Structures are given as C-alpha cells and as structure tokens.
Amino acid sequence: MTEYDYWKIFPKMPRKVTIGDITVRDGFQHEEKFISTPAKIFYLEELIFAGCRDIEVTNLGNPYLMPQFRDAEELLTHMRSDLFKKRCAKNDVNYDDITLTAITIREAAVDRAIELRNKGIGPDRLLMMVSTEEEHHFANSGTTLPAYWKEAERCIQKCNDAGMIMCGTVSTIWGSPIGGATDLKDAVEFTKRWLEIGAHDIEHADHDGSASSPDVYRYFSMILDEIPNTDLHLAHFHETKRVASASILATLQAGITRYEATLGGLGGQPANFLDDCPVKGTGEYYYEDPRYVGLVTLEDTLVQIDEMDIEHGYDVDRILWIGKKLEKTIGRKLRSEAVINGRTLKEGHPRFARPGLKKLKEKFGEKPGQKLPADWADHANLSEKYTAS
C-alpha cells in the first residue's frame, strides 16, 4: 500500500524552520547602482517587522572594493539606536531576538567589527568564507586556502573574545563557476574544520546555482550523518537554472531547518560597476547574463514553505508587499513569481468566477455542490484492467 503521509516518507523533514534574510548585504552587493542608506534602513526594518530575526546588515570589507557598503557604520548605528528599539517594541518585536550579521571576509574586516563592537554598534555575528575549489576561493579572498584557514582561526578567537560569534561558510559544494566539478566529501571535511577551529555555525552555500536536488539531498544527509545538530547548519542557494526550489525541498527532506534568501532573488558576485564608475569588486563577472544570477527569492521560498504547513514565523502577505516596494527601489521587475501572482488561497478568487452558474444549476434541477449526475453511483466502479498492478 502506498504511504501518502509526506512526513512518514521523509521523517527527518522539519515542522518548523528559520529563514534569515540577506537582501541588504548579498542582494544589494550585486547592484550596479548605489542603494540609498534610507532605503537600506527601510528594508532592514520592514523585514524584521515582518518576522525576520536573522538578518545580514552589511559588509565590513574595504569600501574601495565594494562601495555599495560605504554606509556600513551608519546602518549598524541605526540598528543599535534607541529609535529602532522603540520601533521594534511598537511592532511587538523583541529586540533581543534579533541577530545582526556583518560579512568580514578578511581579518581587517574582523578587526573593524571589533572596533565597532567596542563603540557599542558592532554586529552580533560575523561571517568568513572558504570555497572547496581554490581558484574560486582566491577570487573571493585574494589568498590561498591554507593561509586563509590560519587567518580564520585567528579571527574566530578575536571574534569570540569580543563577544561575537563567527559563521563559517563553505562554498562550491556542488561545483565551481571557475574550476568546475567538486567533491562533496571536501565540503563535509571543510565543515568539520570550521567547527574544529571554533565557528559557531556553518553556511552551506551553492553560490552559482550548480546544485541538483539529488546531490543536495545526498550532501545534507552526509552532513547530518556526521554532525546531526541542525542548529549548526544553514542552507544558502543561488538561482541560475530555475531549479532552486527543488533544492529547498530536497534540503527539507534531508532534515535541515535553517535557510536564507533575498527579496526578489537579488544577489550574486559583488558589482564591478557602481552608478557611473567602474569599481574593483571581485573582478570580472563569471556569467554571461545578469538576469540569471541571484539567490532564491524570499517571497517564493516563504510561499513554498507556508503552503507545506511548515512553521516559519513570517507575515507572508507583508513580505509580498515589501517585495513589490523593492521592485520600485531597484527599478526593474525582479524574480519573485509570488509577488506577481500572490499566494494560493484556499478560499480561491471568487472575483474571477463567470456569472450564471447558480441559475444554470437550478434550471437543470441540480443541487448546490452537486458534481455528478443524480442517477450515477456514489463511486466509480472500474474494471480490473485499470486496477490490476
């Protein structure tokens, strides 16, 4: 007999998940125009008021390389302000439940985060990143993997001493846009190395949309076999082939409970052009068409998870409203389908009904809700040629 209960088929699949937002950092880093500081503050606030509790605020790297984040200290100052705390209270948000993350790829950025922490405006959580494929790692960090691991070990100690926590990211798990195919076992080992040197949690990242759902399920099953505490693991998917929703599903089936996304599916490689000026970024883009670059959309991911009856803590309708506002900020149509088509409503959309059905049923002598002819049996009786297996 076929089992129809989804949670019995996939017993590790969670009933509750956490979804962080990284729009203002990863999303905006790819934009070739400067997003104003008031706009960034608006989206940070609104995302939190809509239910986000884990949010990336900014990148503390050198603004010369990524001028999109030249307002990093201003953003963090606002997020630590009494004004914002009062706005949280007004919106029934417990400020102490919010985790503010800043990206600190290199040690200088970690040192900057510590300085800000000493001023009372530093983030709660930092993030450093390794790629299992060294050419991709070098493009992002400018150094070798062995040298970076030693740097990360120092930085985690500094971070912990300052009262912050460090997330270690593992990238190119399912392939590299530069070096090609990679080995899942390397990413499992790198995850262990991060934890060994003191990382608080691990972001498992598909930074170029290489992942296929069977390999996603395989990888996260391997991870949870080795390190079963789901609080330690965070799934990060980019969307380049329109298959990332399948990766989300495969990750849920494997048992992962923590995710992150961006409004509109924004994000990707740091921009090498801002407003009217070329900037350094991380060099030449390694893709041909910017329309196919970015993360999974927060809007669509929320709708997907919400319609699976998995608890997530967001006001989905408010997120869809924010997503529509973001399209005006960015100045183009973004990638969320839910922003266009809305949610699948159990009550339907009666405004689209064709008039006259009630009168026609009365004319035919049919009862309201009657779906079959009155002289038919209650259930179909199929011959054996249809039912034999």
pLDDT for 166-176, tens place per residue?
999 999 999 99
pLDDT for 157-199, tens place per residue?
999 999 999 999 999 999 998 999 999 999 999 999 999 999 9
Return d(Cα 240, Cα 287) in angstroms, integer: 10
pLDDT for 319-351, tens place per residue?
999 999 999 999 999 999 999 988 888 888 888
Contact predicate 179/135, CB 8 Å: yes
Q: What is the pLDDT of residue 293?
A: 85
State percent of the chain over pLDDT 70: 100
Neighbours of 222 (CB within 10 A): 16
* Band of residue 73 on the pLDDT scale cut at 50, 70, 90: very high
Q: What is the pLDDT of residue 235?
A: 98
Residues 6+ away with beta carbon under 8 Å from 353:
none
* CATH dotted code for 6-341: 3.20.20.70
Coil, strand or helix at 49:
helix
Q: Which amino acid is at 304?
A: Q
pLDDT above 90: residue 386: yes
For the segment 300-326, the average pLDDT, to the nearest whole number, is 97
pLDDT for 220-244, tens place per residue?
999 999 999 999 999 999 998 888 9
Residues 6+ away with beta carbon under 8 Å from 334:
263, 264, 265, 266, 297, 323, 326, 327
Coil, strand or helix at 295:
strand
pLDDT above 80: residue 1: no
pLDDT for 199-216, tens place per residue?
999 999 998 888 999 999
pLDDT above 80: residue 290: no
**pTM for the full predicted model:** 0.94
Q: What is the pLDDT of residue 286?
A: 80
The torsion of the CA quartet 23, 25, 29, 35, rounded to 10 degrees, works out to 70
Neighbours of 44 (CB within 10 A): 25
List, as one string, the DSSP characters of 179-247.
Answer: TB---HHHHHHHHHHHHHTT-SEEEEEETTS---HHHHHHHHHHHHHH---GGGEEEEEB-SSS-HHHH
pLDDT for 106-145, tens place per residue?
999 999 999 999 999 999 999 999 999 999 999 889 999 9
The torsion of the CA quartet 207, 26, 247, 289, rounded to 10 degrees, works out to -60
State percent of the chain over pLDDT 90: 88
Return d(Cα 288, Cα 66) in angstroms, integer: 21
Comparison of pLDDT for 207 and 97, the residue scoring more: 97
Q: What is the pLDDT of residue 319?
A: 98
Contact predicate 169/202, CB 8 Å: yes
Q: What is the pLDDT of residue 350?
A: 87
What residue spans define the domains of the chain? Answer: 6-341, 357-387
For the segment 44-64, the average pLDDT, to the nearest whole number, is 97
* Band of residue 289 on the pLDDT scale cut at 50, 70, 90: confident
Return d(Cα 255, Cα 227) in angstroms, integer: 12
